[in-house]
Chains A and B, each alone.
Chain A
């Protein structure tokens, strides 16, 4: 249970274009999803918390107009990198947790497989 599917797994785009990344919870309803970015040999950096039916909560220093998050349903959150530039090249990962699973037990936060974005 608690499977998170993320697409695409990799994408190459031209500078100035926009890229949309999808994150789906396959067997549970995710009221909250988390979007991370990870640069090579660095740890995860939380970008924003995506809330179904409301605005995302962005971490300090993350441009909300550049990284658009839409969580229109209980099973889908999307991250759109607008006007991408080479410095946006990174590994983007979404994560969610089935809220119906008990906090006790080995039920942590599940990650999507990640999207490697390369902006040329």
Chain B
């Protein structure tokens, strides 16, 4: 079992819809979780971080964490074509300034 798993996609949604991206992780004691967006040919940029169970909202983005199920998700409301990118889930298993464990990413296409 991979440490951090994501559906590779592509996930295709119409403009204005909600895009739902999912990520599961294997290390039960993981402490912090990140969603990054990566456009083709560019480096990743941080969208959201989440540490506690529940939802965390920032603009059109909502991160959801369920530690019991070892599951973290990212919802994008009112999806725009500019949201089309690869979304990477990353987990920091032990906190502090440690290396992240990365998923392979989910490709999202938002169709006008």
Chain A residues packing against B (C-beta within 8 Å): 31-32, 34, 42-44, 46, 49, 91, 93, 97, 99, 103-114, 116
Q: Is the CB of A109 within 8 A of B32?
A: no
Closest to B52 in A: A104
Closest to A46 in B: B99
Taking a contact as CB atoms closer than 8 A, the residue among B43, B58, B96 that contacts A111 in the complex is B43
Q: Tell me the count of chain B residues lying within 8 A, CB to CB, of chain A.
A: 25
Taking a contact as CB atoms closer than 8 A, the residue among A49, A106, A107, A113 that contacts B99 in the complex is A49
B1 within 8 Å of A (CB atoms): no
Q: Please indicate the chain B residues that have their CB under 8 angstroms from the CB of A91 in the complex.
A: 41
Taking a contact as CB atoms closer than 8 A, the residue among A43, A46, A103, A112 that contacts B51 in the complex is A103
Taking a contact as CB atoms closer than 8 A, the residue among A44, A97, A99, A114 that contacts B42 in the complex is A114
Interface string of B11-52 (1 = CB under 8 A from A): 000000000000000000001101010000111111011010
Contact A32/B97 with A43-B103, A111-B45 known, Cβ cut-off 8 Å:
yes
CB distance from B61 to the nearest CB of A (A): 10
Which are the 4 A-B pairs with shortest beta-carbon distances? A108-B46, A111-B43, A114-B43, A43-B104
B100 within 8 Å of A (CB atoms): yes
- Interface SS majority for chain A: loop
Closest to A98 in B: B97
Q: Is the CB of B44 within 8 A of A34?
A: no
A116 to B104 Cα, complex, angstroms: 20
A32 to B100 Cα, complex, angstroms: 12
CB distance from B3 to the nearest CB of A (A): 12
- Sample (19) of A-B pairs whose CB atoms are under 8 Å apart: A32-B97, A34-B99, A43-B88, A43-B102, A43-B103, A44-B44, A44-B102, A93-B43, A103-B51, A103-B95, A103-B96, A104-B51, A105-B49, A106-B48, A106-B58, A109-B34, A109-B100, A111-B45, A114-B42
Known pairs A103-B32, A104-B51, A113-B43. 6 more at Cβ < 8 A? Answer: A49-B99, A91-B41, A103-B31, A107-B49, A109-B90, A113-B42
Q: Is the CB of B88 within 8 A of A44?
A: yes
